[in-house]
Structures are given as structure tokens and as C-alpha cells.
Chains A and B, each alone.
Chain A
Amino acid sequence: MNPSAAPASYLDDGHTLRSWLFTTDHKRIAILYIGAITFFFFVGGFAAFLIRYNLLSPKGLIGSAETYNRLFSMHGILMVWFFLVPAVPVTLGNFLAPLMLGARDLAFPRLNLLSWYLFMVAGVVALYAVVGGGVDTGWTFYTPLTSFYSKGHVIAAVVAIFIAGFSSIATGLNFIVTIHKLRAPGMTWYRMPVFLWSLYATSVILVLATPVLAMTLLLLAFERIFGIGVFDPKIGGDPLLFQHLFWFYSHPAVYVMILPGFGVISEIIPAFSRKELFGYKFVVWASIAIAVIGFLVWGHHMFVAGTSLFSALVFSLLSYMVAVPSAIKVFNWIGTMHKGYIHFDAPMLYAIGFIGLFTTGGLTGLFLAALAADVHLTQTYFVVAHFHYVMVGGMVSAYFAGIHFWWPKMTGRLYPEMWGRAGAIIIFVGFNLTFFPQFLLGYLGMPRRYFAYPQHFEALNLLSSAGALTLAVGYILPLGYLTWSLFYGERASANPWGATGLEWTTPSPPPTENFAVTPIVTEEPYQYRQAETVNHE
């Protein structure tokens, strides 16, 4: 493929600020989103860094419990709603969905731009809450602490999340309609790449669950501002009601965070094994099963909260059920590698890291779903380690894997491979060093959200903080070499990895209209013809 013969790329379609801020091109909006979430990732990461700094000493190094509580609250809020929930859908999803479908754009390009603006407004409000002093309620906003006792900018934080929610809903809606309506001729449902299925499942959750969060936050705001008793028993409310509503959103939301990651991994493993995805239909339906069952397990966050024994038993059983499809996926990825021709480029290293870390995170979910074990482990660092393994070890690794994999497509440049591999390995090591000790701390009883702690937890905390430093290096590294590659990276061909999928049939970077001629799909995805692609380098 000769790039110079292709029509002008989307990057060259206007160089003014205006041409970016008023664009309705899904590819440019994806780039805008990448800028935004990268910013929030590093702000949230900075908070995490200060948290780990504080915990270097049992007495707490930053000197103020109030500041500490604000740091972890801000860290959680920014990372969950301004990085993890949007991360893959609005960046890779936005960029790739139309390309993978063989479409010109998303179904509602202007709605797409509107969701970006909503997201930015939400982000500004969140930053206002942070700069104005922050909140100290944790990302979970439990009542009546949040509705009555807490000082700080609760309302601003709640409004920020409320607005971000509308951005999520608009994005989800856009993907659902796009996938239903804009598939290229011949692109049947079972010919869609798994990434699109994941995006679809994610969007359904976003559209169904986010309104519940919006209502919950509204009720919280009503109680706090007008003293209407909903959650505070002193004025006739029910404190557990908040937890039910919050987790009814937030458990499905954890799958919003991970499902797109599953999608990314399901693209990368076949591409670098030069082999068809093992058990395509099982992987696809596992995503759908997760999206459905994920709505029925929220009570597992409340095993010691004062719900009935019977409800605890039901939620425990259902939590095990939701873990089954995740296990199926892991086995299918490994099955894909069997008898493949495995290449070790950075995306694949991230993907393999993902499998290891996600599996560890998922397995520790089994501890927390086993009722009696949860009683001991809940509210401790064990839970913190569990969800960081799935969300950071899993999801963030998947995001990085995807960014590296599609970087040539998005930017038209190759990133420096050696640096990419080094980054993947440093992140894997740093991650384990940071979070593995937290499993032990949790088992030994160290509560989460403690500004200061008993002396005997010190050694493991030191290890964890040392890991955080390594991890920080690992995350800053890609920021450096990816930026470098934008200017000095080698030009990329249309399909530098030899991967299947419509997005690789158009030039890198793609032209504004994506495809010169609408592609026609004639075969299943992942048709890697091993003998052809492997020429024994």
C-alpha cells in the first residue's frame, strides 16, 4: 500500500483549533478524548502518589488526616468516572467502531461531540471541587456521612459525576445505534470483531445503569441541600437504601470498566498469535452474560452492611455465576495462543500481562464472594488490591495494549518498539510490587482509608510505596516515547501488524471519510492464514 496515493488523512483535514473543537469526525473526537482522559489519569495518579507517600510512615507523612481523606476521595472519583469508565469506549471505541464496521462515522456524530463537551464540563466541575478543597467521603459517598456530616464540596463532586453520566449515556446510545444500523454489507453480527461486541455490551450497561446513579446522586443532593429524609435515619431515611442504589450502578459499572478491555485483548491475542480467536461465540456470549448477570450481584458489596442472611447467600451465589464467563474468556485467550505463531511486540506483552493480572484479580474476587472470607477481608487492603488488580492491572494494561496496537492507525507513526516492550515490563513489575503486598496487609487486618496505621504494617507499606514509584516510571515512559513518535516515529503502513479487520484495510492514518469505497465483508473475523503470514523471519 502506498500511503501517498491515498486521500488526505483525517489529521490533515484542517489544522486550526476550530477544526478540532467543532469537529464531528469520530476519529478527531477520539483524539480529543485521549487528551482529556490522559490529563485526568495523571492528576488522579498524582493523588495516588501522594497517598503512597503518606503511607511510608505509620504516623502519616502529609500531616493531615483531612488532606489524606480528600486525596483518596479525589483519586477514586477521578479514576473511576474520568478515566476508567470512559477510557476504552470513548477513545479506542470512538476511533475504531466505525472503522471496524466499515462505516463513515458513528450514527450521531454531533451527539458524539456533545458527549465530549459534557465530559469536559463535568471534568471542570470536578476540578473545581478538587481545587475548592475537595471531598472526604471516598468515591462511594456512603450516607449519612455524605448527606449530612461531611464538609467539603460534595455537591460539586456529585454534579460533576451527574453530568459525566449524561456523557456516558449519550456515548452508549450512539454505539448501540451505530452497531445496529451502520454495519457494512456482509458484516453480520457473528462477523463482527469481539471488540465491537464488548462495546455493545458495555453500552447497554451504560444506558441502563447510569440513570440509576443519576437518580441516586440527585436524592443525595436533595437530602444534603434541603434536608429531605431519604438516607439519613435521623430524618426518617434509610442508610442502606443508598448503598443498594449506589452498587446497583457501581457493580455493573465495574464491568463497564473491564468489558472493553476484554474486547481489546480479544483483538490483540489473535493478531500476535497469527491465529483465529478460539471459541469466538463463547467469548461473545460471555460478554453478554456478564452484562446481564452483572446487574444481579450488587449486594456482594454489603455482606457486613446489615442486609439479611438470605440476601447475602443469594448475592454470593450470583457473584460466583458472574465469574464463570470471565473464566471462560481467559481459557479462550490461552486456547488462541495454542499452536499459534506468537510475536512479542509491546501490545502482546501488555496483553499477556493483562491475562496474568486480571486472572489474579478475578481469583481474589472469589475470596470476596465467599461470604465468611469476605467478612474478614472486606474493608481492608485486600479489597483495594482486588479491584486494582482487575481495574489497573487488567483494564489499564488493556488500554495501553490497545493504544500501542492501534497507535500506527491513529497517528500514522510507529512507536519505538524497544521502549514499548520496556514500558510493558516495568508496568507489570511495578504493578505487582505495589499491589501484591496489599493482599497480605488486608489479610493481616489493615483497614483501607486509614491516614495512619499501627507500626506492624510498616514493612509491607514500604514495599507497596516502592512499587508505586516503579509504576509511576512505567506510566510516564509511554507518555514520553509516544509523544516523541508523533514527530519522529517511522511512518506506518496501512497494516503494520499484518492483522485482520477492516480498520487495517484503510491507510494509516485513515482519510476523513474512512473508506474510499464501502467495504464488503465476506468472511468471519480473525482469518489469519498462518502459512502465508509466517515466513520464518
Chain B
Amino acid sequence: MNGYLPSATVEGREVDFLILALVLVSCAVLALVFGLILLYVVRYRADSGVYRGAPGRKTWRFEISWTAATLAVFFVLFIWGGDLYVRLFQPPADALQIYVIGKQWMWKVEHQGGQREINALHVPINRPIQLVMTSEDVIHDFSIPAFRIKHDVLPGRYESLWFQVETPGTYELFCTQLCGVGHYSMSGEVVAMSQPEFETWLAGGAAPGQREDMAAAGKALFTAHGCSGCHGEGGVGGSPATTGVSAPALAGLLGRSVKLQTGATVTADEKFIRDCLLTPDKMPIAGYPQIMPSFSGQISEENVLRLIAYIKSLKSGSRT
């Protein structure tokens, strides 16, 4: 299995190393436990005449020592596992973002250039990839065992998963959260290829002529759904003088902190944009009247993602 052992990612190999350490600790403990049991059942079997001596009394010394030893080993394992976990789930800032939507029972993938695939994910090697994932229905889980990584994919949220592949190849992709009758069939493959091959793949594929860049598609939606009517063409923001109502500027929104009327401050991420779109009354922005209508039920998950891609693409000087 090329790419499974050793794992196709650096982090995967680190996970394997941790698992190996756990295996060794377990073997040591099992050897101790089974060894002692075996020793005692032979040595102290009822009909053995071996001298038992006076029964020991001070049990607490033993208790303190094995409790302390156990705690020490556990603490090392905790730190090790925790440190690696934090790295596993913090994507580098320069990661290439790819969008994933799970639904009963398939994975839909969309690249920024608008290339779409089903139950397959093509990625370049040696480059951090971040998947931005959501579900149309139940909870799914995007799992790539060869990379030792997985994460649940929830409806109404964007969860993220990142990895950087070293070994080119084709790897199994599974849904690992029970999602209904077709759960077992919700699998596919991840194809890792060199950067030039990946670019060729991006350029080729089905009907490249009809394909539209996600941000460009988002721009069209931005006009079609009337967003620009309040937020202005290009999301520059609206005021009574320009668009007739005051509406916040969307350029450079991602990563900015936004003050809500409730007094809370939130960092604008993908989920924030989604919530503003679908449940605006729960996200009243400080300084603006809450007049934005809800687009819930009117925009598909894919189109929400395209709108987000468009808003991300809007650059602005006000970015902090």
C-alpha cells in the first residue's frame, strides 16, 4: 500500500509515531500484567509448598508508587497527543482552499476555479490544502485514513480540515459518520498529483468552457439576488445617498472583527457570512438597521459557498 505505510503526509507519520509509542507502552504494561499473573499462578498455586512468609502490611507505599508512575506516563501521552492535535487542526494561512459539501450519499467538491467533482478530490502535493466543508442534510465525516485525518461535516456550519500530501497517489476517502442507509457507499478517492499535473487537471476535465470561476459565479449571484442593491456594486457598502439604505461594506470582510448590536464582537469567517445570509435577524450588525431579509431556503449550499468565495475575493484597504 503505497502511501499508507509510511503515511503520505508528514503529520500522518507523526500520528503513527504517537501510535507506536502507545503500542509500546501497552505492550510493556501487558507484559507486566500477564507476566505477574503467570508468575503468581505458577508460584502460588494452591498445592505449591513455596514459603509465603508473613503477609505484608504497608500497602499504601505500593499504591502511591504505581499511581504516581501511571500519572506520569499518562501526562506525557496527554501532552504529546494534545500538541499534535492542535497542529492537525490549525490550517496554515496560505493553504489552498477547496470546498466540500456532503449529502446523503455523496461528496460534492468544488475548486475555486469552479471545477467540480463527485466522490473524488484532486489536490496538488507539497502544498497545504484546506477543505471548507458543510453538509446539506445529516452529519457526515470526511476521512482519509492514509493521511490519518478526519473531521465531521455538519449541516449549518463550516468545518475545516487541512493536510499537505508528500507522496503522489490515489487514497481512499470514506464517510465515517453514520449517515443513513447509503453510509457505506459514501466513499471515494483523493488523488494527489504534482503541481503541473494538477494544473493540467484543473484546465482539462468536463466542458471547461462552461465552467465558471467560483468568485465570478458568486458575483453574478450577488447581483441576481439583489445583494448589490443594498451593499452596493462590488460590495463597497451602501448609504442613504448611494443605495438608499445604509448597509455595511463587504470588501475585506473576512477575518475582520465585527461588532453586533448585542454588544458581542465576532470574527467574520465563512460561518458568519452564512449566518448573516440565512438568519440575519440573529446577527444584527452594530450601527445598521436590521432590514436585511433572510435568504434561507432560497440559496443552495453551493451558491452560498460561491457568494462567500466572491466576498473573499473583494479586496479592500480597510482590512485589519
Contact = CB atoms under 8 A, between A and B. Distances in A.
B73 to A, nearest CB: 9
A338 B33 CA distance: 12
Interface stretch (A182-190, A232-240, A505-513): A232-240
Contacts, number: 256
Interface in B181-232: 181-185
B55 A276 contact: yes
Given A136-B181, A303-B85, A360-B30, 7 more contacts: A145-B139, A150-B180, A232-B155, A342-B40, A356-B34, A373-B15, A445-B174
A317 interface: yes
B240 interface: no
Chain B CB within 10 A, most for which of A148, A367, A536: A367
Contact of A372 (B44, B75, B81, B172): B81
Contacts of B33: 330, 334, 355-356, 359
A313 interface: yes
A219 to B, nearest CB: 17
Contact-residue bracket for chain A? 35 or more
Contacts of A332: 63
Interface of A: 60, 65-66, 69, 136-138, 140, 142, 144-145, 148-150, 232-234, 239-240, 273-276, 278-279, 282, 303-306, 309, 312-313, 316-317, 320-321, 323-324, 327-328, 330-332, 334-335, 337-344, 352, 355-356, 359-360, 363-364, 366-367, 369-380, 443-445, 447-454, 456, 530, 534, 536-537
B46 A359 contact: no
Chain A CB within 10 A, most for which of B22, B47, B159, B175: B22
Interface in B5-57: 12, 14-15, 18-19, 22, 25-26, 29-30, 33-34, 36-37, 40-41, 44-47, 49, 52-53, 55-56
Interface of B: 1, 4, 12, 14-15, 18-19, 22, 25-26, 29-30, 33-34, 36-37, 40-41, 44-47, 49, 52-53, 55-56, 59-60, 62-63, 66-67, 70-71, 74-75, 77-78, 80-82, 84-86, 88-90, 104, 137-139, 141, 143, 145-146, 148-152, 154-157, 159, 172, 174-185
18 contacts: A69-B183, A142-B177, A149-B137, A305-B139, A316-B81, A328-B63, A337-B40, A342-B46, A344-B41, A363-B26, A369-B78, A370-B18, A371-B81, A372-B82, A373-B81, A378-B150, A449-B178, A450-B183
Given A69-B181, A447-B143, A342 B45 contact: yes
Nearest to B86: A309
B181 A66 contact: yes
Contacts of B29: 359, 363
B6 to A, nearest CB: 13
Contacts of B53: 339
B179 to A, nearest CB: 6
A537 B74 contact: no
B146 to A, nearest CB: 7
B82 A339 contact: no
Given A317-B78, A370-B77, A379 B44 contact: no
B45 A144 contact: no
Contacts of A366: 22, 25-26, 74, 77
A451 B181 CA distance: 9
B37 A352 contact: yes
Given A305-B152, A320-B78, A376-B15, A344 B85 contact: no
B40 A338 contact: yes
B82 A324 contact: no
A165 to B, nearest CB: 23
A144 B155 contact: yes
Contact of B156 (A233, A317, A321, A356): A233
Given A331-B62, A369-B81, A380-B176, A339 B52 contact: yes
Contacts of A363: 25-26, 29-30
A316 B180 contact: no
Contacts of A330: 33
Given A364-B26, A366-B22, A454-B172, A274 B46 contact: yes
Contacts of A359: 29-30, 33
A536 B26 contact: no
Contacts of A452: 184-185
A379 B85 contact: no
A140 B138 CA distance: 14
A355 B40 CA distance: 14
Contacts of A339: 44, 52-53, 55-56
A370 B62 contact: no
Contacts of A140: 178
Given A138-B178, A344-B41, A379-B177, A444 B183 contact: no
A372 B180 contact: no
Contacts of B141: 304, 379
Given A137-B178, A234-B155, A444-B4, A451 B44 contact: no
Nearest to B137: A149
Contacts of A340: 40, 44, 52
B82 A65 contact: no
Chain A CB within 10 A, most for which of B12, B182, B184: B184
Contacts of A305: 139, 152
Contacts of A317: 78, 82
Contacts of A356: 30, 33-34, 37
A155 B172 CA distance: 36
Contact of B89 (A309, A342, A453): A309
Contacts of A377: 19
A447 to B, nearest CB: 4
Contact of A537 (B46, B62, B177): B46
A534 B15 contact: no
A338 B52 CA distance: 9
